[in-house]
Every structure is written in structure tokens, then in C-alpha cells.
Amino acid sequence: MLGIAVAVLAFGLLRTVVTSWSSGVEASSANRLITRHAVSFIFPLPVSYRSQIEGIPGVTKVSFANWFQGIYKDQSFENFFPRVAIDPETIFDVYSEYTVPPDQLANFKKLRNSCIVGKKLVEQHGFKVGDIINVKGDIYPGDWEFVVAGVYTGKDKTADETQMFFQWEYLNERSRQTASWATDHVGWYIIQIRNMNDAPSVSEAVDALFINSSAKTKTETEKAFQQSFVSLSGAIITSLELVSYVIIGIILMVLANTIIMSARERIREYAVLKTLGFTSFHVVGLIAGESLFISMIGGAFGLILTFPVCQGFGAQFPTLFPVFKVANSTMVLAVMFSVLVGVVAAVFPAYRSARMKIVDGLRQIG
């Protein structure tokens, strides 16, 4: 039972890593489009594009964002979290899954160097309203100070609560002295559309506006945009998924063999049962019942352990896995594997005991 539990636990943890890595793709809104530079995401777009995009039929609101990064405290992994320059007037309209108290949002809009941090960052770093976050710029040189004006929370568990948002105007002002190449430029546009069925036509219309400009665009659904980032590590994720199946396959095969050997050693006992009047059906039922009981109890124990282990694992890497939860498909597969090992382990001894003659069984030496 313990062996099966360990196998299910290892499978559940690895599968959760795989499913959580692409959680942003699943949480994407069908009513949002992303417009970026056609060559690469790292190239900025002129802020003047916004007014032109807003005039396209089917577009209800346009916001923008710019990756900032920088170094908080040091370059250790635990101090990494996304830092993004945004338009404070529209960002929380297009990302309605993020909730900010009205008074905090008002203060954020008033103070130029203020920021909004996610709930998980508060839990991890102890940020509170009024704190100053010092960041050393890398892409944008210099020492930056951000005043925490508020904390945002997600409306559901699929929302990413590990980001820091600050005003793009603050970045743009500093860029005039330290990074003139980025002045009046943004990283990407977030476009909210009225009807998700209009996504292809709106995307084509946006890209057609700037087809002859020096900064051509590529517009795609938010899901496709997120998927492009996930695909960069596709080989690693595929390998992890394959390893999860190999691990549980090998361990369960060994355990099935152990159960088969245990049943084989009791052939004489089954022969005695038949002598006492038990039919082959009864003996097969005992063998199959024992095998399934062991596998299911072990599988259930492993599945129960998966939840606290995954919760602890996710807590250790909140920025790498903003959403880390056991998927329903993982639970179903774990149960299926547990049942499978019970069935496989019972087939051979059950078949043998059913066809066994009593005399041959009594002669068997385990």
C-alpha cells in the first residue's frame, strides 16, 4: 500500500507541475487580444498606436503594458516577481479578474511612483500599504522607488496574484534621461473586444493599420499569446510529463509483480478452500478483492497526500507557479492507475486458481 501511495504521489506532483505551467493559457480571456511587435516581443511599440486601435469596430477598450523586471534585493530566485508598467486608468478594466479596493486604486492613480502588488507577494515578502520597494533597474538603468498604494486579489484561484503593477508614466519620465530609445513606447497592447467571434477580423484590422510602418504588429488572442511563452519550454514540460508516466508505470509494475508473488505463495491455501467447498468463483473473488483493496487503499492514501504536498511545493515557488493546484484530470488518472495495478495483479493468480485442480494445488510448495 505504501509503495502504491508513493507512486501515486510522485505521479500527482509531476503532473501538477505540468498542468500548472500552462495555467495562464487556460485562464486566458476569449475577449482579449494582445498586440505586440511583429519581429519579437522584446521590441517596443509606439504609444501613439493606441488611439488608432481604439477606432477599430468591435474594440471596446485598449490598455497597454511594459515589462520592467529589475532586481529587488538580490538576484536570488525567491526575490523574483514580475514587475510591469501599466496604464492605471484602464488596466483593471480589461483585467476584470483582478480586484483592487476603490480607495487604494484612487491613491494609486494619484501618486506617480506608486504600485499595486498581488496578494501572494504580500504573503511572501510582507509588503503593506505605504511600504517603499527599492528596485535596481537592468533594462531601464538606475535606482527606482515604488510606494505600495494597494493590494489586488484575484476573483478566483486561476488569477495570478504574484505581479507588481506601476504607472507607465513614471517609467516614461525616467526613460527620457536614462533610456531614450524607450521613450513614448510600450511593450504590448491589451485589446478588449465586444464579441470573441470578432477576434480574427479585429486582429487582421489592427495589423493592417501598421503594415507599412517601421514597427509592424502581430495581434493574436490572449490564449495564443500565452501559449507562445509556454511553447518555449515545451520540450522540458513534455519530458516531465513523460517521466511522470514512466515513474508510475515502473513502480506499479513492480508492485503488481509483488502482489502476484504473494498470491502464488498461497496456492495451497486456495486448494484447501476448494476442498472445503469454495467454488472457483469464490476463490477468484477473494484474490481479485484483495488485490483491488490493496491497490485502491494505497492509491487513495497517495492521492490524499498529493494535495498537501502540492500545496507546500506551490508555496515554495509562488512566482514560478502562480496557480498550483491538482487538476481533475490528474486525480482521474491516479485512480485509473490504482485500479489498473489491482486488476493486472489479480489476473494471473485468479486465472491459475480457477483452472487449478485441488490435488495439484495441495502439492504446490510456495
pLDDT digits (tens, 9 = 90+) for 185-212: 999 999 999 988 889 999 999 999 999 9
- Top pLDDT among 276 and 5 is at 5
Are 282 and 151 in a shared domain? no
Task: Give the domain range for residue 259.
Answer: 2-20+233-363
The verdict on residue 224 lying in a domain is: no
- Check: CB of residue 361 under 8 Å from CB of residue 263: no
Are 259 and 147 in a shared domain? no
Give 230's pLDDT tier (boundaries 50, 70, 90): low
The verdict on residue 29 lying in a domain is: no
Angle in degrees, CA 69, 75, 78, rounded to 5: 90
pLDDT surpassing 80 at residue 363: no
Give 231's pLDDT tier (boundaries 50, 70, 90): low
pLDDT surpassing 60 at residue 366: no
Give 84's pLDDT tier (boundaries 50, 70, 90): very high
User: How many percent of the chain have pLDDT more than 90?
Assistant: 34
Are 279 and 160 in a shared domain? no
- Top pLDDT among 1 and 362 is at 1
The verdict on residue 337 lying in a domain is: yes
Are 175 and 81 in a shared domain? yes
- In this prediction, residue 327 carries a pLDDT of 82
Are 195 and 326 in a shared domain? no
Strands 114-118 and 142-154: parallel
Quote the CA–CA distance of 259 and 197 in Å, as a whole number.
55
- Of the three residues 215, 244, 271, the one that is the final residue of a domain is 215
Are 105 and 170 in a shared domain? yes
Instruction: Give me the DSSP letters along 60-102.
Output: EEEEEEEE---EESSS-GGG---EEEE-TTTHHHH-TTEE--H
DSSP state of 58: T
- Of the three residues 184, 215, 246, the one that is the final residue of a domain is 215
Are 168 and 86 in a shared domain? yes
Query: Which residue's entry shows cell 513614448?
Result: 184
Angle in degrees, CA 341, 342, 345, rounded to 5: 80
The verdict on residue 227 lying in a domain is: no
Other Cβ atoms closer than 10 A to 188: 21
- Top pLDDT among 158 and 86 is at 86
Give 174's pLDDT tier (boundaries 50, 70, 90): confident
Are 306 and 240 in a shared domain? yes
pLDDT surpassing 60 at residue 232: no
Three-state DSSP at 148 gives: strand
- Of the three residues 186, 215, 244, the one that is the final residue of a domain is 215
User: How many percent of the chain have pLDDT more than 70?
Assistant: 89
Three-state DSSP at 30 gives: coil
Are 311 and 351 in a shared domain? yes
Are 162 and 69 in a shared domain? yes
**What are the strands, taking DSSP E only, across the chain?**
32-37, 45-46, 59-67, 71-72, 83-86, 98-99, 114-118, 132-137, 142-154, 164-167, 185-186, 188-193, 217-221
The verdict on residue 25 lying in a domain is: no
- In this prediction, residue 60 carries a pLDDT of 93
Mean pLDDT confidence for 40-44:
86
- The pLDDT mean for the chain works out to 84
- In this prediction, residue 113 carries a pLDDT of 92
The verdict on residue 220 lying in a domain is: no
- In this prediction, residue 172 carries a pLDDT of 92
Mean pLDDT confidence for 314-337:
80
Q: How many domains does the chain have?
A: 2
Are 88 and 153 in a shared domain? yes
Are 310 and 202 in a shared domain? no
